[in-house]
Chain A
Amino acid sequence: MSDARLSGPPAASRRRWSWTDPKLRSSVIQIVLALIMVWLVWSFYANATANLSRLGIASGFGFLDNRAGFAISQSLIPYNESMSYGRAFVVGLLNTLLVAFLGVILATLIGFVMGVARLSKNVVIKALASAYVEVTRNLPPLFQIMFWYLAVLSTLPGPRQSWGFGLQPLLGSIGSGLSAIGLGFLGNPLSGFAAGLSAPSVFVNNRGLVLPRPIFEDGSMAILYALVAAVVASVLIGLWAKKRREATGKPFPAFWTGLALIIVLPLAASYAVGNPVSIETPELRGFNFVGGVRVIPEFVSLLLALAIYTGGFIAEIVRSGILAVSKGQSEAAHSLGLRSGPTLRLVIIPQAMRVIVPPLTSQYLNLTKNSSLGVAVGYPDLFAVFAGTTLNQTGQAIEIIAVTMAVYLTISIVTSMIMGWYNKRVALVER
């Protein structure tokens, strides 16, 4: 056959069917592949319908309207047993998003602190950060979730012996400590001040975390509007400041202005409409707490484990991102007269972010996906509520697992699209 190719293209001697013809080969392979796929899908479909009718399992999504009949221990929207599976699905989805959102924020904080600490000149801090990173990254996330839940949170004291946290005990203990070491002139007034404050308002016990709850009365919306206005204003100020700096070189403290606006405007609005928000502090009555909000221990352990586990990975990403900015950049910034703060903020971090963002995104996605491990300790997230309890009750494995996978897949795809857009924006513009 190679002879035929070497001796040129006289039409008569050329083989019409040659495996070496890339066009023919590719179409044959693809046709065979398509046939296999069609056969696979068809046989899956046929088997599934046969199996379902044999096992007497219903199909379709009609079950979403049926009465769920099970309680969910944490819900952001009103929910009770008489509501539908569809409602339970939404409750689970919101719980997943809640733990993922808070986990991402916490993990980012931990990760940036630890990543910077690993680059510290201080050997003690550096060794501690390294130990943190190695230990958290090398223990399975499920192990960590179960450790926090079984070994730490469930061994806390019961509600009656709760640990209370608040300004009063904290300041009081500092005050008495100061008095004890002979600094009574500082300690005594501090203790006196602490005694005047309210009793502890945050409690930790084996049933979770009890927090004070804000109660919104009429007029609270004004505060929200003020907050939105403040955020919009600070974004605009930031844009204006950037434009002016690029045009004239004059800096403007946009961050502090924005922060001040965001704090002051809502406070002023609250004062103007007559302080409509009050704080309800929890109180121990009988065997449990009344008032406040209770955060279930499942949530706390899942959040802690996810944030600590992912924080270790983010620390490594941050470290490598900062190391990726060459030393010449900071030297050049110093020789231009920038102090170390502005050097970090204006020169190092913008360049490091370019390296940090893509792997950071995949860590955020990992955290979101790992939140499904909450099922092991009974946190009612999407997976536990839908693929756990609902699947158990209805037996409609195909629909339920497909929907669960689709939700996670959608979260993944949307996040990667947003990050792809961001990545394109911060990517190096090469001329």
Chain B
Amino acid sequence: MSDTTAPLSRPGVSPAQAFVSAALREPEPAPVSTRGPVLWVRQHLVGSVPQVLLTLFGIWLVYVTVPPLIKFFLIDAVWTGTSREACLPEKVGRPVGACWPFIWAKMDQLLYGFYPASERWRVNVVYALGAILLLPLLIQKLPGKRLNAIAFFGVFPVVAFVLLTGGNLDMQRFLVGSIGSIGFGDLFTSGGSVQGLRASFWIDFVVSTVIVTAIAFLVSRFVAGPEAGPAAAKATLSMLGLLGLIIFAMDIDLGLPQVETRLWGGLLVTLVIAVTGITVSLPFGILLALGRRSKLPLVKALSIIFIEFWRGVPLITVLFFATYMLPLFLPGRFTIDGLLRALVGVALFASAYMAEVVRGGLQAIPKGQYEGAMALGLRPGLMMRLVVLPQALKMVIPGIVNNFIGLFKDTTLVLIVSIFDLLGSMRAAFTDPSWASPTTLFTGFGFAGIIYFVFCFGMSRYSMALEKRLDRAQRH
């Protein structure tokens, strides 16, 4: 009461001599409960009764999951041994966790399948080459992306193909020979060609190239005018030349023994399918995405049907389609390799998904970019190649990586059509009675799970980092 009536009159101090401090007082520190670690704990762990209960529940969950896992995979684990005896609790005389000798014993099978032991260096070379070419491609700062991309997407598949299969592809006839075998008789092919002697194929190839180039020259000259002729001929010639080069590389006999694809297995198959799928699906996906946005009604309708059909059915039906149905649709003399069938199925499936990713990028390009390109007088093809696609593809790189993660996980499905990828090899290894022990299954799933997790998690983190980067670049 007295405060309000006489604020400045304190006992012994007259209002005239009021004390005024010369300096500001130091502020009191905030109460302990509203700052620092205490505040953090209060806000994040024990703010209210439900919070406390949640925290306790969470700690209990961690307690019942993490220590047993560590105990199983590290502390109680058996690290050395030669057979199941090492992993049986009654033989070891203590509770047994993970049975790692099982993994060591099956490691070759998990990495290479039944690839012949003397030829496994070829797989290792492919692994190493892939890693050497892929890593600089993923690091944004390094220069030479164009060359690197050509090396990885263009040269590496051919080298990998030659190394893994042994090359020495038995090509018998090209266009002229195939058409000739229908009508004109075996003009350029020597009937049942002798192994190693492929002169007839190359004669056929050169003749075909000349004929096709001439046709391209004449047609474009007739349709588009005299100056279009040489350009078309040049384009056709370089494309066929490239094809010839690839066939030559696959056909050359390096003295490597042939390894059939049914001997391949494990991580090798997983990676081959995933990488082939993504490499093939990229160009096809771009074409389909462009087709879907095309103004030509037939092109648009066919693209939409193709994309929506493959996206609407499960991958396993696509694999069955490629394995059981596709051979019926092809001429009887074709026998397609089992792995190749699965690759065709995966490529069809992945292309449809890739098309949708690319379409997202195309839709995000502002109309002004198209109009600007047209105002510069670029033809539609050049406009796409020089203006729209570079921007759109850059924008969808995270989407492409996510697609790849999905494809990597989906490769496991090939085990249903009897191709042994990593998971399939693991399942085959489980059936080995000489390693049957109570913990074999958990060890195997743990090991395969770690491999899948490391690949997928690593890629998803990479794609998130890319997304952030691109986001920054988009901001003005």
Q: Which DSSP category, helix, strand, loop or mixed, fits chain A's interface?
A: helix
Nearest to A415 among chain B residues (CB) is B312
Which of chain A's residues have a CB closer than 8 A to the CB of B58? 122, 124-125, 127-128
Q: Mark A21-54, 1 if CB is under 8 A from B, else 0.
A: 0000010111001100100000010011011101
Nearest to A148 among chain B residues (CB) is B445
Min CB gap B95→A, angstroms: 15
Nearest to B228 among chain A residues (CB) is A19
Contact present for B330 and A376 (CB under 8 Å): no
Partner of B317, one of A18, A51, A122, A401: A401
Which of chain B's residues have a CB closer than 8 A to the CB of A352? none
Which of chain A's residues have a CB closer than 8 A to the CB of B445? 143, 146-147, 150-151
Partner of A146, one of B223, B302, B320, B423: B423
Number of residues of chain A lying within 8 A (CB) of chain B? 61
Q: How far is the CA of A9 from the CA of B88 in the complex (A)?
A: 92
Contact present for A121 and B47 (CB under 8 Å): yes
Whether A408 contacts B298 in the complex (CB less than 8 A), given A138-B452, A142-B415, comes out as: no
Q: Mark A149-175, 1 if CB is under 8 A from B, else 0.
A: 011000100000000000000000000
Is B410 located at the chain interface by the 8 A CB criterion?
yes
Partner of B313, one of A15, A122, A405: A405
Which of chain B's residues have a CB closer than 8 A to the CB of A124? 45, 54-55, 58-59, 62
Interface core residue of A51, A143, A409 (most chain B CB under 10 Å)? A143
Is A186 located at the chain interface by the 8 A CB criterion?
no
Is B153 located at the chain interface by the 8 A CB criterion?
no
Is B51 located at the chain interface by the 8 A CB criterion?
yes
Q: How far is the CA of A122 from the CA of B61 in the complex (A)?
A: 14
Q: Mark B47-63, 1 if CB is under 8 A from A, else 0.
A: 10001001101110110
Residues of B313-341 whose CB lies within 8 A of A? 313-317, 320-321, 324-325, 327-332
Q: Mark B398-412, 1 if CB is under 8 A from A, else 0.
A: 000000010001111
Nearest to B58 among chain A residues (CB) is A124
Whether A122 contacts B51 in the complex (CB less than 8 A), given A33-B298, A47-B329, comes out as: yes
Contact present for A151 and B441 (CB under 8 Å): yes
Whether A47 contacts B330 in the complex (CB less than 8 A), given A19-B224, A142-B412, comes out as: yes
Is B449 located at the chain interface by the 8 A CB criterion?
yes
Whether A373 contacts B62 in the complex (CB less than 8 A), given A122-B54, A150-B441, comes out as: no
Whether A121 contacts B43 in the complex (CB less than 8 A), given A140-B412, A401-B321, A405-B313, comes out as: yes
Nearest to B223 among chain A residues (CB) is A19
Whether A123 contacts B44 in the complex (CB less than 8 A), given A30-B296, A47-B329, comes out as: yes
Which of chain A's residues have a CB closer than 8 A to the CB of B416? 373, 375-376
Which of chain B's residues have a CB closer than 8 A to the CB of A92? none
Q: How far is the CA of A139 from the CA of B320 in the complex (A)?
A: 23
Q: Mark B215-238, 1 if CB is under 8 A from A, else 0.
A: 000001011110110000000000
Is A120 located at the chain interface by the 8 A CB criterion?
yes
Is A397 located at the chain interface by the 8 A CB criterion?
yes
Min CB gap B119→A, angstroms: 28
Interface core residue of B223, B295, B314, B460 (most chain A CB under 10 Å)? B314
Contact present for A30 and B298 (CB under 8 Å): yes
Q: How far is the CA of A127 from the CA of B299 in the complex (A)?
A: 49
Residues of A378-431 whose CB lies within 8 A of B? 383, 387, 391, 397-398, 401-402, 404-405, 408-409, 412-413
5 closest Cβ pairs, A-B complex: A124-B58, A19-B224, A138-B456, A369-B314, A140-B409
29 contacts between A and B (CB under 8 A): A1-B224, A30-B296, A33-B299, A47-B329, A50-B332, A52-B328, A122-B51, A122-B58, A124-B59, A125-B55, A125-B58, A128-B62, A137-B456, A138-B452, A138-B456, A139-B449, A142-B413, A143-B409, A146-B427, A369-B313, A369-B315, A373-B413, A376-B415, A397-B325, A401-B325, A405-B313, A408-B314, A409-B312, A413-B312
New A-B pairs, 11, CB < 8 Å, besides A33-B299, A34-B298, A125-B54: A17-B223, A121-B47, A123-B44, A124-B54, A137-B460, A138-B456, A143-B445, A147-B445, A373-B416, A398-B325, A408-B312
